[in-house]
Amino acid sequence: MIDFRSDTVTKPTDKMRKAMAGADVGDDVYGDDPTVNRLEKMTAEIMGFESALFTSSGTQANFVALLSHCSRGDEYIVGQDAHTYRYEAGGAAVFGSIQPQPIEFEIDGTLDLLKVSQKIKPDDIHFARTRLLCLENTHAGKVLPLSYLEKAGHFADEHNLKHHLDGARIFNASVQLGVDVKEITQHFDSSTVCLSKGLCAPVGSLVCGKKEFVDEARKWRKMAGGGMRQAGILAAAGVISLSEMVERLGEDHKNALYLSDLLSDIEEIMPPKKTVYTNMVFINMDIEKAMLLADNLKRQGVLITPDSEIRFVIHNDISLDDIRYTVSCIKSFFK
Ligand SMILES: *Cc1c(COP(=O)(O)O)cnc(C)c1O
C-alpha cells in the first residue's frame, strides 16, 4: 500500500531494527537504561534545553508538559485546532483540571497575539489563572515565522505566561527554514518533539525544558503509567531518528512540491500550488467525491483519508514512482 494518510505510518528503517535488536538496556524507572539516558541527553543538547524526557507518544509528552506548567484551576491558551486542544481527548482538562482557552488560528498557523492578550484573565476570584501559551510548529504543515516566535516569546514573558511548543514536527520546520532547531526552541520554556512521524522511529516523543520542569514531568509520566522499563529498545531507534533522519525531511518537502505540481494539471482539483506546506499537500473537493476517490484509490493500493480537504502526507516510505503512480490513478478516476 502507498499510504498518504500520515507520516506516522512510516516503518522503522533496517538500521533502526538492527540498533533496536542490539540495544544496551536497563530499567529506565530506576534511571538505569543507558540508551534512554543517551537519547534524552542527546535530545536536550540538540533542542537547546537543560533536560529531556522520553515518552510513549506526543500526546503523553504534551500532557506531562501541560501538567508540569499548570496546576488545578490554571488555564492554557491554545489554538482551536491545535493537537493539544482538539486531538488529545481533553487530557489536560480531564486529568489535570486545567482549563483550555482556545482561539482560532490565523491562516499562517500563528495565534494573533492581540486576540491572545484579550483572553488573558485578570487576577480575580471569578477567573481561572491564565498560566501558559501553547503554540504548534509545524501546524497543518505550516512553518511559523521566526519573527513571530520571537514576538510571541516576548509577549509571553511580558504577560508572565509560560510558553510551550508542541513541536511534534519541529524538524520539518527547521529543515524547511534551513536553520538550527535552537533558532526555534530558544523562544520557548519547553518543547516536545516526535520521533515516530517523519523521523521514522516506531514509538516515542520527548519533552524538553529546564531540569526542574523535566523532573516534574517525569513524575506525571509515571502517574500516567508511562514509566517504561527496558525502553532502550525503543530509544535506540530514536537515536538514529535524530542523528540520521533529520536532513532527509527535506526530500519529503521536495517530493510534496513535485506531487503538488503534478496535481495542478488535473482540472477537477482546485489548484493545490498555494497549499503545499513542508511534507503535506492539501486538495479540496466535496466530501462525496472524496469518498469515491478514496474507495477507488484503495482498490489500486493507495490510501488517503477522505475529507473535504484531503491531506497527502509525504514521508520516507513514499517514492517519486509512488507519487507518479498515484497521480495517474487520480487522473483516470476523473476520466
Ligand atoms: C502527531 C502529533 C502529536 C502527537 O501525537 P501522538 O500520536 O500522540 O504521538 C502532537 N502534536 C501534533 C501537532 C501532532 O501532529
Does the beta carbon of 272 lie inside 6 Å of ligand 1? Answer: no
pLDDT by residue (tens digit) across 102-149? Answer: 999 999 999 999 999 999 999 999 999 999 999 999 999 999 999 999
Q: What is the pLDDT of residues 70-107, one digit of tens each?
A: 999 999 999 999 999 999 999 999 999 999 999 999 99
Encode pLDDT of 163-217 as tens digits: 999 999 999 999 999 999 999 999 999 999 999 999 999 999 999 999 999 999 9
Ligand 1: atom nearest CA of 166 is 11
Asked, as a colleague might, if the bond just before 138 is cis with ω within 30 of 0, I would say yes
> Which ranges constitute the DSSP H helices of 128-277?
146-158, 170-177, 182-185, 211-223, 232-244, 249-263
Full DSSP string of 2-40: EE-S-GGGPPPPHHHHHHHHT-----GGGT--HHHHHHH
Strands of the sheet containing 309-313, edge to edge, are: 276-277, 280-284, 309-313
Q: Is the CB of 58 under 6 A from ligand 1?
A: yes
Tell how far the Cα of 123 is from the centroid of ligand 1, in angstroms.
33
User: Of the given ranges (21-30, 111-120, 249-258, 261-270), which has the lowest mean pLDDT?
Assistant: 261-270
From 166, 190, 196, the mutation candidate for ligand 1 (largest count of ligand atoms within 8 A of CB) is: 166
233 lines ligand 1 (CB under 6 A): no
Give the whole-angstrom CA distance, residue 274 versus residue 251.
19
DSSP 261-305: HHHTT-TTSPP-GGGEETTEEEEE--HHHHHHHHHHHHHTTEE--
Residue nearest to atom 2 of ligand 1 (CA): 168
- pTM for the complete prediction? 0.97
3-class secondary-structure state, position 62: helix
Task: Quote the ligand 1 centre to 291 CA distance (angstroms).
Answer: 25
Cα(82) to centroid of ligand 1, in Å?
A: 10
pLDDT bin (cut points 50, 70, 90) of residue 268 is confident
Residue 240 CA to ligand 1 center (angstroms) comes to 20
**167 C-alpha to center of ligand 1: Å?**
9
**What percent of the chain stands above pLDDT 70?**
99
